[in-house]
Amino acid sequence: MTQPLNTVVINGSLHRPSRTGILLNEIEKQISKRVSLETEFIDLVDLVPYIGTALCTDHLNDYAKQTLTRIEQADFLIVGTPVFKGSIPGLCKHLFDLVDMNAIAGKPVLLAATGGSTRHALMIDHQLRTLFGFFHALSLPAGVYATQEDIQDGLISSTALKQRLDLVANLATPVLQGIALQKQHNAEELIPA
């Protein structure tokens, strides 16, 4: 039995409840059916008062510093954000501006976004992959994009989105299982003979 992956789900929405949160919950649920996860959810809306004026980590309070530490120490990140005017919210980007540039190198990241129409779907590839490429994180091959038609009354209502979630979870599984096995191997090496 492998150890669960320390997973952090980051909701870049400034609203609660949000379609982004619903999408992220479903992604985590689908992946946890296939891989053992120990999950913590971080909502950007909770960090607004603490990171909005911080120019560096020295300006953060303990809560915001602990949040950054959880992100930096995660085995696996699931990051989702709404699209505003063709881009991610500035505070979501600012949160990652505060993350240590070497902390998530090589770590798998599953990317997701929500928007008002399908014309924003490429934001995942053009902005989020670029951002996590800077960190040398391992962006998983398929992301998830959803519109307001895909999520209705707090539920995933689109058959196409449900199929996409299944595909994304299946594509992520071999990578995450490999990370979990490596984590287990590293833990076993620390146990004295």
Q: Where are the domains of the chain?
A: 5-190
Q: Which helix (H) or strand (E) holds 184?
A: helix 159-190
Write out pLDDT tens, residues 130-170: 999 999 999 999 999 999 999 999 999 999 999 999 999 99
- Which CATH superfamily does the domain covering 5-190 fall into? Flavodoxin domain (3.40.50.360)
Q: What's the pLDDT tens digit per position in 87-128?
A: 899 999 999 999 999 999 999 999 999 999 888 889 999 999
Question: Which pLDDT band holds residue 193 (cuts at 50, 70, 90)?
Answer: low
Q: What are the structure tokens assigned to 57, written together?
A: 């980590």
Percentage of the chain modeled with pLDDT above 70: 98
Residue 179 near residue 36, CB atoms below 8 Å: no
**Alpha helices of 11-152 — where are they, by DSSP H?**
19-32, 44-51, 62-73, 90-97, 123, 129-134
Q: What CA–CA distance (Å, rounded) separates 78 from 112?
A: 8
Q: Among 84, 78, 83, 88, which residue's Cα sits nearest to residue 146? A: 83
